Amino acid sequence: MPIFVALASLLFLGVIFGPQLWVRRVMDRNGADRPDLPGTGGELARHLLDAAELTSVAVEKTDLGDHYDPNTRSVRLLPQHHDRRSITAVAIAAHEVSHAVQHAQEEPGFLRRLEATRALVWVERIASGILVLAPVVFILVRSPAVVILQVCAGISLLAIEVIVHVTTLPVEFDASFAKALPVLVRGRYLAAGDLPAARSVLKVAAYTYVTAALATLLNVMRWLRILRF
Ligand SMILES: [Zn+2]
């Protein structure tokens, strides 16, 4: 019996953390400096936005992970993607610019996802509240059953986040493979030999939110951080 428990735990941890390790590995493997590339990720993002007549969309540096912020209409890139020339930097920049294009074109899938992720902020906050209050409830009612129910409710709410990100994957795949990749090929920003690597980065870029949401399920520190917002 203990062997089954150990196997089940390993499988569970693999499902939760495996995807995030995969994302990091692919990004690192293709993150080496490539001075032969025409520009940094930040420069390419600016160039692609201008070419798409999105001159008002800003390109900024962030430490919070690469993303497109629909509220301020900004493409934000990690310093190593904003300032360096690598296949990862170029592919990520093109992916985030594609979200700005989806927004500008008011693509229905993107707008639906925008609504869903706004609702998720509240789902996350409520889940965090429920989980953080669990020890307090235990002190007050001294009933393990109530606390277990409470923790299950919190975790179920966080699982909704994973489901929402899975259902919005088509928007991510559109950004990576219907927009970013053709732009990189057409503009000859990468040599043909670099395209398989770019394709693998674009694939993990599409899965970033799903893997992050999975990790959130076990990441109590993040629950606490969200609560402080
Ligand atoms: Zn994306």
- Cα–Cα distance measured from residue 47 to residue 144, given in angstroms and rounded to the nearest whole number: 58
Confidence of residue 224 (pLDDT cuts 50, 70, 90): very low
| Residue 124 Cα to ligand 1 middle (Å) | 20
- CA–CA dist 45, 60 (Å, integer): 10
The residues facing 68 across adjacent strands are 75
Q: Is the separation of the CB atoms in 186 and 179 below 8 Å? A: no
And the tokens for 71? Answer: 């509220």
Q: How far is the CA of 109 from the centre of ligand 1 (A)?
A: 13
**Contact indicator for 210, 19 with CB cutoff of 8 Å:** yes
Predicted TM-score (pTM) of this structure: 0.84
- CA–centroid distance, residue 229 to ligand 1 (Å): 23
Between CA 22 and CA 201 the distance in angstroms is 11
The residue with greater pLDDT, 81 or 6, is 81
Find the 206 Cα to ligand 1 centroid distance in Å: 5
The lowest-confidence range among 97-101, 121-125, 140-144, 173-177 is: 140-144
pLDDT beyond 50 at 52: yes
Q: Residue 152's pLDDT is what?
A: 81
Instruction: Calculate how far, in angstroms, residue 34's C-alpha sits from the geometric centre of ligand 1.
Output: 23
Q: Which residue has the higher pLDDT, 57 or 123?
A: 57
Expressed in angstroms and rounded, the spacing between residue 97 Cα and the centre of ligand 1 is 9
Q: Quick one: pLDDT band at residue 1, thresholds 50, 70, 90?
A: low
pLDDT digits (tens, 9 = 90+) for 152-202: 888 888 888 888 888 989 999 999 999 999 999 999 999 999 999 999 999
Distance 68 CA to ligand 1 centre (A): 8
Quick one: pLDDT at residue 211?
Answer: 85
Going from the Cα of 223 to the center of ligand 1, the distance in angstroms, rounded, reads 22
Q: How far is the CA of 99 from the centre of ligand 1 (A)?
A: 7
The DSSP string of 127-176 is HHHHHHTHHHHHHHH--HHHHHHHHHHHHHHHHHHHHHHHHTHHHHHIII
Best CA proximity match to 158, nearest among 220, 68, 207: 220
CA of 199 to the centre of ligand 1 (A): 14
Q: Using 50, 70 and 90 to split pLDDT, how confident is the model at 228?
A: very low
In this predicted structure, what is the pLDDT of residue 160?
87
- What is the DSSP code string of 25-72? HHHHHT-S--TTSSS-HHHHHHHHHHHTT-TTSEEEE-SS-SEEETTT
Share of the chain above pLDDT 70, in %: 94
How much distance in Å is there from the Cα of 114 to the middle of ligand 1?
Answer: 12
Kind and range of the H or E element at 75? Answer: strand 74-77
Distance from residue 147's CA to the centre of ligand 1 (Å) = 36
32: left (phi over 0), alpha (psi -120 to 50) or beta: beta
Residue of higher predicted confidence among 1 and 194: 194
Q: Mind listing the pLDDT tens digit for each residue in 3-34?
A: 877 887 777 777 767 888 888 899 999 999 99
